[in-house]
């Protein structure tokens, strides 16, 4: 059973398009995250949701909009895609933001290529 899953695994699209990436976790965790990994393999957090509530929103263009329909799902919608959005996007989850420190478990990633 996959703990944190993402779809699609690969996404190739044209500049200006709108696309979504979906994430689901079956660990019963309360908190979910989106990270971006650039071409130099640097992982940087974008958003975090706890029980469907946004708790972390780093400096990310407002073309990126996370949506959490329930605590097991966190989707990422990107409007007006730009070349610089090309990266690997990782979803992660952890037991709960209420804990002082909390191990995060990552999905397999979605490689987005904007042409």
**Residues of this chain that bind other proteins (CB under 8 A):** 4, 31, 33, 40-45, 48, 50, 55-56, 58, 90, 92, 94, 97, 99-109
C-beta of 63 vs 98, nearer to other proteins:
98
Three-state DSSP state, 40: coil
Helices (H), 50-104: none
C-beta of 14 vs 59, nearer to other proteins:
59
C-beta of 87 vs 92, nearer to other proteins:
92
* 57, 89 contact by CB (below 8 A): no
* 102, 51 contact by CB (below 8 A): no
């Amino acid at each position: 059973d996959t703990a944190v899953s993402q779809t699609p695994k690969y996404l190739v699209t044209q500049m200006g398009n709108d696309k979504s990436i979906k994430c689901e976790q079956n660990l019963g965790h309360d908190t979910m995250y989106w990270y971006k990994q650039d071409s130099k393999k640097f992982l940087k957090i974008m958003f975090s949701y706890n029980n469907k509530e946004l708790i972390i929103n780093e400096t990310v263009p407002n073309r990126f909009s996370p949506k959490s329909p329930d605590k097991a799902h966190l989707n990422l919608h990107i409007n007006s895609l730009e070349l610089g959005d090309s990266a690997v996007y990782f979803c992660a989850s952890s037991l709960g933001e209420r804990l002082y420190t909390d191990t995060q478990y990552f999905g397999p990633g979605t490689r987005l290529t904007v042409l």
